[in-house]
């Protein structure tokens, strides 16, 4: 079977689903799409955001590529208001720890992918009417020619 460009995605989803406290896992195309999805208590969005391109060798045939995946934890807490948000952070804290523990260094055991590394997300924590969004960016070095 020929490898697929996004073959890492279902492995990320399966790894996140091992965290029993996270109720929903989504794979939207963007953070904006994630905001529109129904999340009850907690959920995670897995979003492919692109590639970081490194060195090129072998007459341009082999390029060092780091595939980047934004993992966004969504936590809802109706009691969290704009002037009092401590409760939503308290609710998110153990989920963030579990998510980081599950993904930092995660090895999908795929022939062309290296273990995940956490990198600067470039997206800030956000909120929207009783919901908070905590973004984390992970990348995996892809070792193959196209």
- Report which DSSP code applies to 59: G
> pTM value?
0.89
Structure tokens at 42: 């907690």
Closest alpha carbon to 131 in 28, 34, 15: 34
Specify the pLDDT at position 99: 97
Question: 26 pairs with which residues across the strands?
Answer: 45
Specify the pLDDT at position 1: 45
Specify the pLDDT at position 3: 61
Structural domains of the chain ordered from first start: 9-142 (3.30.2000.10)
Written as tens digits, the pLDDT of the chain (146 aa) is 456 889 999 999 999 999 999 989 999 998 888 888 877 788 999 999 999 887 776 666 667 789 999 999 999 887 766 667 788 889 999 999 999 999 999 999 998 899 999 999 888 888 877 888 999 999 999 877 66
Instruction: Identify each DSSP E strand in 38-86 by its residue range.
Output: 42-57, 62-76
Q: How far is CA 116 from the centre of its chain?
A: 11
């Amino acid at each position: 079977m020929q490898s697929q460009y996004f073959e890492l995605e279902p492995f990320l989803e399966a790894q996140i689903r091992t965290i029993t406290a996270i109720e929903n896992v989504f794979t939207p195309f963007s953070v904006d799409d994630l905001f529109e999805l129904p999340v009850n208590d907690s959920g995670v969005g897995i979003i492919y955001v692109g590639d970081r391109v490194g060195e090129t060798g072998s007459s341009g045939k082999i390029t060092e590529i780091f595939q980047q995946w934004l993992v966004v934890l969504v936590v809802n807490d109706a009691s969290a208001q704009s002037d009092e948000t401590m409760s939503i952070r308290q609710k998110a804290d153990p989920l963030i720890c579990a998510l980081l523990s599950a993904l930092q260094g995660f090895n999908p055991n795929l022939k062309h992918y290296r273990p995940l590394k956490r990198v600067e997300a470039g997206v800030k924590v956000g909120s929207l009417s009783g919901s908070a969004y905590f973004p984390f960016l992970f990348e995996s070095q892809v070792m193959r020619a196209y």
